[in-house]
């Protein structure tokens, strides 16, 4: 069975590397992006993703909410996870079906969200 493909969008380098390593160690095939522009380029490329995990607040004018909306449009089979230091009630409307994970979170919490989306 092929591993799940993940697009991880996080502007904090240390956190992006940490999460990428942890997911890779667990067998996920991870592609990373450090901002919304890179993420949208990946989403519109040839790769198909099972999961898109994106931080809400990012530099360069494209938010994680916009990344999730683009993912929902161009990769409708992908499971979407938004992470943020803000409370969900503080955010604008997020795309339907998108899961929310508050920061800070632990890797096991992220894995639980991914596994809920893809039960074995």
Could you tell me how far CA 19 lies from the centroid of its own chain?
11
Residues counted in the chain: 120
Sheet of strand 29-33: strand arrangement: 29-33, 5-9, 51-55, 79-84, 99-102
List the chain pLDDT tens, one digit each, 120 residues.
Answer: 458 999 999 999 999 999 999 999 999 999 999 999 999 999 999 999 999 999 999 988 999 999 999 999 999 999 999 999 888 888 888 888 899 999 999 999 999 999 987 754
Provide the residue range defining the domain that includes 33. 5-117
Question: Looking at 23-107, which runs of residues are DSSP E strands?
Answer: 29-33, 51-55, 79-84, 99-102
Q: 24-35: buried (b, 16+ CB within 10 Å) or exposed (e) per residue?
A: eeeebebbbbbb
Global model pTM greater than 0.85? yes
How many domains does the structure of the chain reveal?
1
DSSP reduced 3-state for 15: helix
Q: Residue 58 is part of a domain; what is its CATH number?
A: 3.40.50.2300
């Amino acid at each position: 069975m092929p591993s799940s493909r993940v697009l991880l969008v996080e502007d904090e380098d240390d956190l992006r590397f940490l999460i990428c390593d942890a997911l890779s160690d667990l067998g996920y095939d991870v592609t990373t992006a450090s901002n919304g522009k890179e993420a949208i380029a990946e989403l519109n490329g040839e790769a198909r993703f099972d999961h898109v995990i994106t931080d809400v607040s990012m530099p360069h004018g494209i938010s994680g909410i916009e990344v999730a909306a683009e993912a929902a449009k161009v990769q409708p089979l992908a499971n979407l996870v938004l992470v943020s230091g803000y409370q969900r009630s503080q955010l604008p409307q997020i795309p339907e079906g998108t899961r929310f994970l508050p920061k800070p979170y632990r890797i096991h919490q992220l894995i639980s969200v991914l596994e809920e989306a893809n039960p074995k």
